[in-house]
């Protein structure tokens, strides 16, 4: 039995495999190339095709979530509000240019506040900048919100005018109670219904202008190395279903 | 995950067997195959025939020869349409591998009136429609190039009226002004900002509770109206084929093309030159387009990609198929009773055209007026 992942995502996969091996009682390996048998879990890796593939998570869901163009195009066919990727000339500014479409931690993000700033990036896809009231990191397991974090500014300096809320840019996570976010539950349920994705961490912002949540991205290989408790949550969820 | 791109479907038209004969063949197939197929009729491939002296040789009653032959027996209607359920690629392969050899051994044959249509399950949004239109304009010339499936393209006989290119839709009549207009200006469709605006370019109102089935909008080879009708993108380019390898390669290619709609970026559109369906290019030019598409399918890791053998089949199809002789002129829709409403004329979405040529399509209702070979291709 093995967890299939990408070389760049092995840290969290190894932690999970170790816990499943020690506490679950079955030896689980971490591999980055598909084997003859389907993997037990796909950790952000869509390689290899099997007729009896694991649904934790499906290859198709991982591929769609891992490509911002496909993710945006997929969501355009649903009723889920989202941050739409565009190409061509924007009608207004600021915009968020993505020079990398399958990156993590804000890789390749550039904010353009006017056409002059945009011109060097015309060939890239972009999204309009949403002034989110707040952003959440939502661990969704089996369609339920299992853990919820609010992204908070961690530095002494004033928060930027156009924040990109990730750890590299000075943000941290503060655990919050899901009960306080009533509209989030049906919204998360709709993401689960459309994607059928069994575990992920979704970045979701509250668009105060339109009074709705918008999904920014869905990570099918969430980091488990920063928080032992989160690792435990994923372990319990997968252990009950797979071992 | 939502069932987008999970399923394909196909329609096989043929004039070679009666529906009773076809039904008997279906009975011999494994139930896993049989249960996925629905036998139907289609006027565009039907004709009546009588047997000569009790033998199995049938002669069309729509020919002049018929009157000179000592023919007895009851008249039978030949021609059928076989429609698959939505199935996975692997099930589609299983069906085609089982079915097509049986058809061939059962006396079926290919003919220029008959087509092979492919559907790919898809969702609909204005973003997807615009991306599909942009890709369709680039890919249509290649698909028309291979549409003959190794033989003369059936659209040469009827101005491809059942499968028009996106760049040259059928002409439709506006009674009040006694004027003809072309259905669909692709650039105006691409400039739309809502699904309603997009389908207005096809003279379709999405507000109708159920879309009209037989509408000129349906008869584009790269058929996006099918998204409203069936939740699929339909590829209507292809001639009928009895070759399982060719049919499967084409189905997989269409499915991968549909998946590219989700994934492609500008570099794909930039990499495919602007070609016209009505111009003749070298085989190498079409091969380059095919190679570009296959490279992008690989780069985007599409599901069920064509394997090396199937890619070879696609190359061979380009080399084997004679270049079609489609001519760029206005062609009247075969929906003869259709009238464009003044609402659409006044919208400015439709371009006025000169008096169009009739399509020259043959169906059971007008077959006696046309040239028609009795058995097989010319």
Q: Confirm whether A225 is domain-assigned.
A: no
Query: What pLDDT score does B294 carry?
Result: 98
Does the distance separating the beta carbons of A195 and B1 come in below 8 Å?
yes
Strand partners, A219: A201
What is the four-CA torsion angle of A110, A113, A114, A115, rounded to 10 degrees? 20
| pLDDT number for residue B363 | 65
Q: H helices then E strands: how many in chain B?
A: 14, 11
Contact B163, B225 (CB under 8 A): no
* One domain for residues A56 and A70: no
- Tell me if A195 is assigned to some domain: yes
Most A CBs within 10 A among B262, B266, B269, hence the mutation to make, goes to B262
Determine the structural domain holding residue A58 and report its residue range.
2-64
Task: Look at residue A152 and tell me if it is in a domain.
Answer: yes
Judge whether A187 and A166 are in contact, CB under 8 Å. Answer: no
pLDDT for res B62: 65
- Cross-chain residue pair A74–B4, CB shorter than 8 Å: yes
Asked whether the beta carbons of residue B262 and residue A125 sit closer than 8 angstroms, the reply is no
What does the alpha-carbon distance between residue B327 and residue B169 come to, in Å, rounded to a whole number? 13
SS3 at position A171: strand
Q: Do A101 and A183 sit in the same domain of this protein?
A: yes
Please check whether residues A57 and A77 belong to one and the same domain: no
Question: Which residue of chain A comes nearest to B128, CA vs CA?
Answer: A73
pLDDT at B364: 60
Residues of chain B with pLDDT below 70 are: 1-3, 52-59, 61-66, 71-73, 208, 360-378
Task: Please indicate, yes or no, if residue A242 is contained in any of the structural domains.
Answer: no
Rg of the Cα atoms in chain A: 18
Judgement on whether residues A148 and A203 belong to the same structural domain of the protein: yes
**Average model confidence (pLDDT) across chain A:** 93
The pTM for the full model equals 0.90
Q: What's the whole-number mean pLDDT along residues A83-88? A: 92
| Mean pLDDT, residues A35-50 | 94
pLDDT of B56: 60
CATH label of the domain that carries residue A184:
3.30.470.20
Instruction: Please enumerate in sequence order all residues whose Cβ is within 8 A of that of A222, keeping only pairs 6 or more positions apart, or say none.
Output: A12, A139, A199, A200, A201, A230, A234
Q: Is A210 exposed, middle or buried (0-12, 13-18, 19+ CB in 10 A)?
A: exposed
* Overall number of domains in chain A: 2
**Residue corresponding to tokens 């995502």:** A9
Q: Is the pLDDT of residue A34 over 70?
A: yes
Give me A131's structure tokens.
Answer: 């002034």
Q: What is the DSSP letter of B89?
A: H
Q: Tell me the backbone φ, ψ of residue B357, rounded to 5 degrees.
A: -80, 145
ipTM: 0.86
**A126-149, pLDDT tens digit by residue?**
999 998 999 999 999 999 999 999
Note the pLDDT of residue A226: 81
At B36 the three-state DSSP class reads: coil
Choosing from A64, A84, A111, the residue where a domain stops is A64
Nearby residues of B307 by Cβ (< 8 Å), 6 or more positions away: none
Residue where a domain terminates, one of A47, A64, A81: A64
A28 and A97 part of one domain: no
Residues of chain A contacting residue B193, judged by C-beta atoms under 8 Å apart: none
Nearest Cα neighbor of A217 from A151, A146, A153 is A151
Q: Shortest CA distance to B371 belongs to which of B69, B110, B148, B47? A: B47
Instruction: Check B1 against A73: CB less than 8 A apart.
Output: no
- Pair A78, A59 in one domain: no
Backbone dihedral angles phi then psi of residue B307, each to the nearest 5 degrees: -85, 175
The answer to whether residue B4 neighbours chain A at the CB level (below 8 Å) is yes
Q: Which of B183, B151, B149, B179 is nearest to B166 (CA)?
A: B183
Residue A126 lies in a domain: yes
Q: Answer yes or no: is A232 within a domain.
A: no
Whether residue A207 sits in one domain with residue A188: yes
Strand partners for B239: B115
Residue B251: closest CA among B320, B164, B314, B297? B314
Judged by a CB distance cut-off of 8 A, whether residue B124 touches chain A is yes
Q: Cα distance from A81 to chain B (closest Cα, Å)?
A: 13
Residues A78 and A55 both lie in one domain: no
Q: At residue A41, does pLDDT exceed 50?
A: yes
Q: What is the mean pLDDT of residues A14-39?
A: 95
pLDDT at A198 over 60: yes
Whether residues A74 and B266 touch (CB distance < 8 A) is answered with no
A190 in contact with B, Cβ within 8 Å: no
| Number of A–B residue contacts, CB under 8 Å | 60
User: Residues A82, A103: one domain?
Assistant: yes
Check residue B112 and give its pLDDT.
86
Same domain, A207 and A98: yes
Say yes or no: A134 and A95 in one domain: yes
Q: Are A98 and A127 in contact (CB under 8 A)?
A: yes
pLDDT at residue number B2: 64
| Among A70, A82, A102, the residue to mutate for chain B (most B Cβ within 10 A) | A70
> Could you say which of A22, A38, A64 is where a domain stops?
A64
Question: Is there a contact between A70 and B262 if contact means CB atoms under 8 Å apart?
Answer: yes
Q: What is the mean pLDDT of the segment spanning A173-202?
A: 95
Does the CB of B263 have a partner CB in chain A at under 8 Å? yes
Whether A180 and A86 share a structural domain:
yes
For residue B251 the two structure tokens come to 């189905």
Interface membership of B125 toward A (CB under 8 Å): yes
Asked if B307 has any chain A CB less than 8 Å from its own CB, the reply is no
Has residue A141 been placed in a domain? Answer: yes
Q: Is residue A209 assigned to a domain?
A: yes
Sheet containing A29-31: which strands, arranged edge to edge?
Answer: A29-31, A2-5, A41-43
Any chain B CB within 8 A of the CB of A72? yes
Q: Which of A64, A73, A194 sits opposite B128 (nearest CB)?
A: A73
């Amino acid at each position: 039995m093995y967890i299939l992942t990408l070389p760049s995502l092995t840290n969290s996969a190894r932690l999970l495999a170790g816990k499943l091996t020690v506490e679950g009682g079955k030896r689980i390996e971490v591999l980055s190339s598909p084997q003859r048998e389907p993997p037990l879990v796909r950790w952000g890796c869509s390689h290899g095709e099997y007729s009896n593939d694991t649904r934790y998570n499906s290859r198709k869901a991982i591929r769609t979530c891992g490509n911002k163009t496909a993710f945006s195009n997929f969501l355009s066919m649903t009723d889920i509000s989202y941050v739409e990727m565009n190409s061509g000339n924007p009608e207004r500014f600021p915009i968020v240019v993505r020079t990398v479409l399958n990156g993590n931690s804000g890789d390749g993000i550039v904010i353009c506040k006017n056409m002059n700033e945009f011109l060097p990036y015309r060939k890239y896809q972009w999204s309009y900048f949403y002034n989110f009231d707040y952003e959440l990191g939502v661990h969704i397991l089996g369609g339920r919100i299992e853990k919820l974090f609010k992204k908070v500014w961690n530095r002494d300096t004033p928060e930027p005018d156009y924040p990109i809320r990730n750890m590299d840019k000075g943000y941290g996570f503060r655990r919050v109670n899901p009960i306080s976010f009533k509209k989030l539950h049906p919204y998360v349920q709709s993401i689960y219904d459309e994607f059928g994705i069994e575990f992920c961490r979704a970045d979701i912002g509250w668009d105060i202008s339109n009074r709705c949540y918008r999904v920014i991205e869905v990570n099918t290989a969430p980091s488990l190395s920063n928080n032992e408790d989160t690792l435990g949550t994923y372990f319990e969820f997968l252990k009950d279903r797979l071992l | 995950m939502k069932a987008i791109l999970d399923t394909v479907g196909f329609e096989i038209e043929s004039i070679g067997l009666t529906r009773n004969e076809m039904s008997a063949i279906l009975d011999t197939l494994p139930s896993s195959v049989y249960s996925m197929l629905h036998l139907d009729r289609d006027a565009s491939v039907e004709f009546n025939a009588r047997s000569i002296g009790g033998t199995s040789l049938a002669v069309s009653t729509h020919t002049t020869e018929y009157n000179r032959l000592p023919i007895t027996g009851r008249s039978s209607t030949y021609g059928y349409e076989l429609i698959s359920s939505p199935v996975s690629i692997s099930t589609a392969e299983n069906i085609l591998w089982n079915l097509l050899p049986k058809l061939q051994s059962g006396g079926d044959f290919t003919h220029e009136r008959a087509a092979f249509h492919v559907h790919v399950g898809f969702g609909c949004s204005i973003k997807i429609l615009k991306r599909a239109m942009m890709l369709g304009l680039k890919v249509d010339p290649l698909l028309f190039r291979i549409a003959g499936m190794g033989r003369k393209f059936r659209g040469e006989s009827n101005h491809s009226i059942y499968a028009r290119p996106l760049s040259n839709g059928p002409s439709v009549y506006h009674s009040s002004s006694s004027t003809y207009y072309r259905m669909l200006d692709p650039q105006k469709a691409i400039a739309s900002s809502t699904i309603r605006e997009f389908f207005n370019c096809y003279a379709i109102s999405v507000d109708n509770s159920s879309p009209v089935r037989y509408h000129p909008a349906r008869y584009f080879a790269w058929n996006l109206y099918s998204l409203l009708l069936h939740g699929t993108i339909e590829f209507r380019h292809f001639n009928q084929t009895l070759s399982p390898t060719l049919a499967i390669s084409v189905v997989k290619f269409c499915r991968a093309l549909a998946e590219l709609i989700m994934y492609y970026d500008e570099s794909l559109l930039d990499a495919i030159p602007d070609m016209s369906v009505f111009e003749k290019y070298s085989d190498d030019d079409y091969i380059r387009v095919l190679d570009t598409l296959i490279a992008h399918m690989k780069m985007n890791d599409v599901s069920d990609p064509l394997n090396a053998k199937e890619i070879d089949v696609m190359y061979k199809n380009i080399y084997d198929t004679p270049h079609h002789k489609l001519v760029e002129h206005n062609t009247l829709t075969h929906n003869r009773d259709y009238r464009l409403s003044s609402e659409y004329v006044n919208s400015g979405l439709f371009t006025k055209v000169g008096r169009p040529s009739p399509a020259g399509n043959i169906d059971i209702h007008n077959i006696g007026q046309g040239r028609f070979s009795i058995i097989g291709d010319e």
